[in-house]
Structure 1
Amino acid sequence: MIDSAPQTGFFGHPKGLFTLFFTEFWERFSYYGMRAILVFYMYYEVTKGGLGLDKTVALSIMSIYGSLVYMSGIIGGWLADRVFGTTKSVFYGGILIMLGHIALAIPGNLALFFTSMVLIVLGTGLLKPNASSVVGDLYAENDNRRDAGFSIFYMGINLGAFISPLITGELMKTSFHLGFGVAAVGMFFGLVVFAMTKKKNLGLAGSQAPNPLQPSEKKRVYTIFTASAIVIAALVAISIPQGWLTFDSFVNLVGILAFLIPAAYFIVMYRSPKTNEVEQSRLLAYIPLFLAAVLFWVIAEQGATILALYADTRTNLNFIGIELSPAWFQSFWPLFVIFLAPLFAVLWTKLGDRQPSIPKKFSLGLLFAGLSFIVILLPGYFGGTDTLVNPLWLVLSIFFVAVGELCLSPVGLSATTKLAPAAFSAQTMSLWFLSNAAAQALNAQLVKFYSAETEVLYFGSIGGAAILFSIVLFLISPLIQRFMKGIR
């Protein structure tokens, strides 16, 4: 498969990296452009072009939507492994995402809004994890360009995430639907790039399902899928009129699943006869790292919910004569990552064997995340919560989160590949992404406690918990290190 793809042609990397870089750039452009204005669209009054939902409900929907996006990656990974292959999964996912954005771009009602959410959740689940897998398929295992290739790919993600909120944030001043329309056009460009270059640049990479369903399995699997779909549809049809399935009960259900699924993953992998004693020990070491990641993403993902609301309602948007859009603040995080990532790469390389261990890097990530919430409570603590805040406070808070991400997120991906049992390497990567799903499911509950009156207590409690956990994690890091059995 590797030989079928041109191995040079994009900054010394396989030509297929060009295809995946720009596909992911446009996918993230569309996703983050939509995400930057979605919460405002939900709670702005109908007269201002919004849906007029209650602010707390809008924040909960935003969080549960983010949770479902990450949970859907499990389905996307399974379909790629057993049915479509990764390249087809990426293409089909892109189509669903584009249709979801088109649905958002059409002025309509709540039904159309929720239809778009379903399409985007399913599409992102198909595209996001599988695009990363195809990048790996372009390189031989011992190819020393692999890490640099993923760094270039990661740059595409952050460039898309940086540019799009600036555009959609400006367009939302005229119409939310214009912003969503631009997101749809972005995904269309991504699909065009992918369709026109994949055959020439990707070769056979990702073209076949690595573990395809056997003919004897197909009937049983399709029967289970069909029966499950019918049962779920019947339960929904019965429970909504009866009042059993409400928004609150759905949020609670997703919240339970977001923690039950990773718990089940841990138990199945730990108890499997395919997992040896060393791998069992490493799985135990992974548990506190997973919990730390959940707490980190609890804070980081509030950039699109609580901090978005803070930007809109608590921040002085008239800054040095410029009328800011509240959506623009969501461009700072990827901007900081773009500038800081090379510095962190150089720092870890220079430190060599003296660099902090994996658990200590996680504790640093959590510390910076906690500090970001301490920073943002200071204006309210000293100046009260009834005055507008200088936007630089919000920028500083976002900066701390970006530093925390670079201590934790890439390290977490690397640690996951090192600590995963050999028989469950792909599923352990799915487990890592479930830390974000669990965090956002938790956020759907936490955001209910935020208000102008509780602002200082809210940021202080969550930020303080993260700092406390980071200290505990730092102190027990030698113990975790022992359980990692040689992995550093």
Structure 2
Amino acid sequence: MTTKNSQEILDSIPQKGFFGHPKGLFTLFFTEFWERFSYYGMRAILLYYMYYALKDGGLGLDRGTAGSIMAIYGSLVYMSGIIGGWIADRMLGMKRTVFYGGILIMAGHIALSFPGGVTALFVSMGLIVIGTGLLKPNVSNIVGDLYDKEDMRIDSGFSIFYMGINLGGLIAPFIVGTLGQKYNFHLGFGVAALGMLVGLIIFLATRKKYLGLAGSYVPNPLSADEKKSAFLKFGISALIIVVVGAVLISNGILTIDGFVMTVSVLGILIPVMYFLVMYFSKKTTKKEQKSLLAYIPLFIAAMMFWAIQEQGSIILARYADERIRLSLGEFSLQSSWFQSFNPLFIVLLAPVFAALWMKLGKRQPSTNKKFSFGLIFAGLSFLIMIIPAVYAGPDTLVSPIWLVLSFLIVVLGELCLSPVGLAATTRMAPAAFSAQTMSLWFLSNASAQAINAQIVKLYSPETEILYFGIIGGIAVLLGVILFVVSSVIKKRA
């Protein structure tokens, strides 16, 4: 995209009107709000749906297997962003890709809202994985289109956008979680589908007026012959995957554990290949190659951070269900409600961080140092969970305050790292791979959850001290190392 085209896009967008930011931020804020409502509402009850007994409305799966499936599901959701980024960059543009993604996500939640057992579970997961891959990296990338690359509002804008994501995540567990755990899991999944429908309506109603040309262009379009070739390759690949998968499953060769291991390996290999393709592409300039090299330590730091943060919906969700006192006098808590603490603290603290970066301006810490703070806080959020394990032991229910403190501490890290990482990705992306580089950012989460799929099997109340201690300690150590070398990385960027 040329400088002239960039200016045309900026001129087509009302630049003031949403908390001092471009009006298009309103459209993207509420589209992502409802998409996250549907996704996090579903996730708040999905683990319990998988391992609760059949008589309680669940599927009766083993707890360790359910945890691994949750991690792999999350990994595939973010891994599929590669497809979404490629389709936006080369075929549809970001706006249309976002819309089609929302349709698939809604269909996935509808599939779960009917009793279909394990088959419906995997059909739903497939639809949501593909849909989120189309929507999530592109809606975030359109946010970057609203600003000039030198606009000092960009970090603040991403923080506000991030608050929208978490407002949806805050409300969802109370509504979907209560309906799912107290009444019927499928009712909860149905409400999640309704949330995605509302998001699609808002996007369609406001995109033309508020987004202007943002996200409407195709940065690196396919030629007519390339499109034919791409459709042929997609069709043949899909057919091969379906046929081979059906044969392997029917013969007992491809088991759940085997599939989990395969995705775990791909979670490491795919981002490595992605870096290499972009770095050695003829469309990537020397300056952009330097930026990609500087991006690598940020990617590794993000992987470690998400490996801890994403366990909030797996290990800490199990902790809430098995280790927390859920009765406070006559008032009973639902274990799914604890999934609201992470977004609650982000909603409360995101404006503080957004205002802080705006006030500090050029005096704010570098991106690398912000990432190091994020890692240190993530490690501390696990280390604090050692305290109740030491004092209460594995057989005693503990106060909810420990879980609340853990969520609070990891949120401090998240606000240092995640919105800043989104902004850094838009700044450091090669022009020919703009949407795909955002997909690469989300691959840090995919890789983390692919690793988690193996790690979460090691957790039990008896291994709590070692589990939280080792993972938390590694994160703190990496954070300190990144802080020390941040100046060197900045000079070479």
Bin of the TM-score, shorter chain as denominator length: over 0.9
In structure 2, C-alpha distance between the alignment counterparts of 1:354 and 1:146, rounded to whole Å: 15
Contact 1:26-1:189 at 8 Å conserved across structures: yes
* Structure 1 segments unaligned to the other structure (5+ residues): none
- 2:104 aligns with 96
Residue 179 of structure 1: CA displacement?
Answer: 1.2
In structure 1, C-alpha distance between the alignment counterparts of 2:226 and 2:288, rounded to whole Å: 30
When structure 1 is superposed on structure 2, of 310-319 and 467-476 the one drifting more is 467-476
- In structure 2, what residue type is equivalent to 1:42? M
1:22 to 18, 30, 46: 30
> In the TM superposition, what whole-angstrom CA distance separates every residue of 1:411-461 from its partner, at most 9, and x where no partner exists?
222333444445544433222211100000000000111112111111111
Give the secondary structure class of the aligned counterpart of 2:325.
coil
Contact 2:30-2:164 at 8 Å conserved across structures: yes
- In structure 2, what residue type is equivalent to 1:433? F
Give the secondary structure class of the aligned counterpart of 2:58.
coil
Return closer, same or farther for 1:198/1:468 CA change in 2, 3 Å cut-off: closer
Matches within 5 A, 1:112-131: 112-131=120-139
Residue 75 of structure 1: CA displacement?
Answer: 0.6
- 2:54 aligns with 46
Return closer, same or farther for 1:299/1:197 CA change in 2, 3 Å cut-off: same
In structure 2, C-alpha distance between the alignment counterparts of 1:22 and 1:351, rounded to whole Å: 28
Return closer, same or farther for 1:45/1:87 CA change in 2, 3 Å cut-off: same
1:58 to 66, 83, 94: 66
> Would you say 1:254 and 2:263 are equivalent positions?
yes
> In the TM superposition, what whole-angstrom CA distance separates every residue of 1:60-79 from its partner, at most 9, and x where no partner exists?
00000000000111111222
In structure 1, C-alpha distance between the alignment counterparts of 2:389 and 2:143, rounded to whole Å: 45
In structure 2, C-alpha distance between the alignment counterparts of 1:293 and 1:276, rounded to whole Å: 25
Contact 1:319-1:391 at 8 Å conserved across structures: no
Give the secondary structure class of the aligned counterpart of 1:453.
helix
Larger RCO of the pair (alpha carbons < 8 Å, separation 6+): 2
Residue 235 of structure 1: CA displacement?
Answer: 1.6
Residue 39 of structure 1: CA displacement?
Answer: 0.4
CA RMSD of aligned residues (A): 2.3
2:94 to 52, 70, 86: 86
> Would you say 1:324 and 2:344 are equivalent positions?
no
> Would you say 1:176 and 2:176 are equivalent positions?
no
> Would you say 1:307 and 2:316 are equivalent positions?
yes
> In the TM superposition, what whole-angstrom CA distance separates every residue of 1:174-193 from its partner, at most 9, and x where no partner exists?
11112111111111111222
- 2:462 aligns with 453
Residue 396 of structure 1: CA displacement?
Answer: 0.2
Return closer, same or farther for 1:397/1:430 CA change in 2, 3 Å cut-off: same
Return closer, same or farther for 1:278/1:369 CA change in 2, 3 Å cut-off: same
Return closer, same or farther for 1:217/1:60 CA change in 2, 3 Å cut-off: same
- Give percent identity, aligned residues only: 64
Return closer, same or farther for 1:474/1:153 CA change in 2, 3 Å cut-off: closer
- In structure 2, what residue type is equivalent to 1:224? K
Contact 2:155-2:419 at 8 Å conserved across structures: no
> In the TM superposition, what whole-angstrom CA distance separates every residue of 1:104-142 from its partner, at most 9, and x where no partner exists?
111221101111111111111111122223334445556
- 2:372 aligns with 363
In structure 2, C-alpha distance between the alignment counterparts of 1:193 and 1:415, rounded to whole Å: 28
Residue 263 of structure 1: CA displacement?
Answer: 0.7
- 1:161 aligns with 169
> Would you say 1:466 and 2:482 are equivalent positions?
no
- 1:372 aligns with 381
Give the secondary structure class of the aligned counterpart of 2:462.
coil
Return closer, same or farther for 1:400/1:107 CA change in 2, 3 Å cut-off: same
TM-score for both structures, normalised by structure 1: 0.92
* Structure 2 segments unaligned to the other structure (5+ residues): 1-8
- In structure 2, what residue type is equivalent to 1:477? S
In structure 1, C-alpha distance between the alignment counterparts of 2:210 and 2:42, rounded to whole Å: 29
Return closer, same or farther for 1:242/1:102 CA change in 2, 3 Å cut-off: same
Matches within 5 A, 1:420-435: 420-435=429-444
Q: How many residues align?
A: 484
In structure 1, C-alpha distance between the alignment counterparts of 2:444 and 2:287, rounded to whole Å: 23
Give the secondary structure class of the aligned counterpart of 1:17.
helix
> In the TM superposition, what whole-angstrom CA distance separates every residue of 1:90-117 from its partner, at most 9, and x where no partner exists?
2211111111111111122110111111
